[in-house]
């Protein structure tokens, strides 16, 4: 069995409440600012207290609004990756706008933190047919926008089967050479996500069981949470009730429970690198370009 089974990734998609699709499409608004920043601070301190690491997929617009908070994540030793610039759904944008979202977010985050930004996660796991080409063209080394979930009406799922880190060609045979994919994890058999809303729906024991089952298969669990889930949210007309369910203190206790599981919590980039030795050897594309 691979020595990576004791590793897990508990990443954080660094977006605020007002950047979520649920808020932007709501009929109401709130005058509160920075909803989620306190949750981000709590997450950073909680990881520090447990000597755990993580990857922060950051919406780079926050680097303009709250640069100190993004810098603190980098200063804590966390990997900084991109979650686009504006957190708009990529499929809602034309190709030029998608390219700009990827390129500008990477440039802005690298400029602010001094880190090399090589990872990317799409908002709501929403990608388009040119996704991997755009990632390679804009300088990324890996993607984490795939989830092998069953189809969930009104959400996502049903498109992919990949559950373990691999070359992106495992998702799209025409993906550029060397680009890696780190799928977010689902519960084996049930094939529902282990974290995000599903952690709040089903509870931390559900997530912990899924992590252990994946580890037995030699698969590194890849989990994700949002900082706005870790704080009390204001009531906003038109935001679905599910968004409010078990946020705030309940979610903090759930995340703490997950972090107390017997795993070494590492960065997404580390999980990919430690998995590469298990990947198949490079093959060759019909156009002569080597893969891998």
Give the number of residues written for the chain. 292
For residues 71 and 207, give the distance between their C-alpha atoms in angstroms, rounded to a whole number. 30
- Residue 91 resides in a domain: yes
Compute the distance between CA of residue 77 and CA of residue 42 in angstroms, rounded to an integer: 16
How far is residue 292's CA from residue 279's CA, in Å, rounded to a whole number? 9
- On whether residue 41 sits in a domain, the answer given is yes
Cα separation of 30 and 9, whole Å? Answer: 33
> How many domains does the chain fold into?
1
10 in the Ramachandran plot: left (φ > 0), alpha (ψ -120 to 50) or beta? beta
Residue 57 tokens read as 């997929």
pLDDT confidence of residue 290? 32
Mapped to the 3 state alphabet, what secondary structure does 178-202 carry?
CCEECCECECCCCCCECCCHHHHHH
CA-nearest of 268, 258, 205, 225 to 50 is 258
pLDDT of residue 280: 64
- Inside any domain, residue 292: no
Is there a domain that residue 267 lies in?
yes
**Can you give the pLDDT at residue 181?**
97
Does residue 284 belong to any structural domain of this protein? no
Residue 194 forms part of a structural domain: yes
pLDDT the model gives residue 279:
75
In a domain, 113, yes or no: yes
Closest CA to 112 of 74, 166, 55: 74
Which secondary-structure segment (H or E) carries 247? Answer: none
Q: Does some domain include residue 211?
A: yes
Distance of CA 223 to the CA centre of its chain: 7
pLDDT in single tens digits along all 292 residues of the chain = 444 448 999 999 999 999 999 999 999 999 999 999 999 999 999 999 999 999 999 999 999 999 999 999 999 999 999 999 999 999 999 999 999 999 999 999 999 999 999 999 999 999 999 999 999 999 999 999 999 999 988 778 899 999 999 999 999 999 998 999 999 999 999 999 999 999 999 999 999 999 999 999 999 999 999 999 999 999 999 999 999 999 999 999 999 999 999 999 999 999 999 988 777 654 433 333 333 2
For residue 183, the domain's CATH number is 3.20.20.370
pLDDT at position 287: 34
Quote the domain boundaries for residue 131: 7-278
């Amino acid at each position: 069995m691979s020595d990576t089974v004791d590793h897990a990734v508990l990443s954080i998609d660094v977006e605020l409440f007002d950047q979520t699709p649920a808020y932007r499409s709501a009929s109401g608004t709130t005058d509160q600012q920075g909803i989620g920043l306190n949750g981000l601070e709590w997450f950073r301190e909680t990881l520090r207290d447990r000597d755990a690491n993580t990857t922060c997929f950051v919406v780079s617009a926050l680097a303009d609004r709250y640069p100190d908070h993004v810098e603190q994540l980098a200063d804590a030793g966390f990997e900084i990756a991109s979650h686009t610039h504006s957190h708009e759904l990529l499929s809602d944008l034309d190709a030029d706008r998608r390219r700009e979202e990827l390129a500008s977010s990477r440039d802005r985050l690298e400029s602010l933190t001094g880190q090399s930004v090589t990872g990317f996660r799409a908002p709501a796991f929403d990608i388009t047919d040119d996704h991997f080409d755009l990632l390679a063209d804009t300088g990324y080394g890996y993607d984490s926008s795939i989830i092998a979930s069953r189809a969930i009406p009104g959400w996502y799922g049903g498109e992919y089967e990949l559950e373990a880190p691999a070359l992106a060609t495992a998702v799209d045979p025409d993906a550029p050479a060397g680009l890696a994919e780190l799928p977010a994890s689902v519960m084996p058999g049930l094939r529902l996500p282990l974290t995000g809303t599903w952690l709040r729906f089903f509870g931390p024991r559900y997530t912990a069981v899924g992590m252990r089952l994946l580890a037995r298969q030699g698969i590194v669990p890849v989990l994700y949470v949002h900082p706005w889930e870790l704080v009390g949210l204001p009531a906003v007309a038109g935001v679905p009730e599910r968004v409010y369910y078990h946020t705030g203190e309940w979610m903090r206790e759930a995340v703490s429970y997950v972090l107390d599981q017997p795993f070494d919590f590492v960065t997404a980039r580390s999980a990919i690198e430690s998995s590469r030795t298990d990947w198949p050897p490079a093959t060759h594309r019909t156009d002569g370009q080597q893969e891998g």
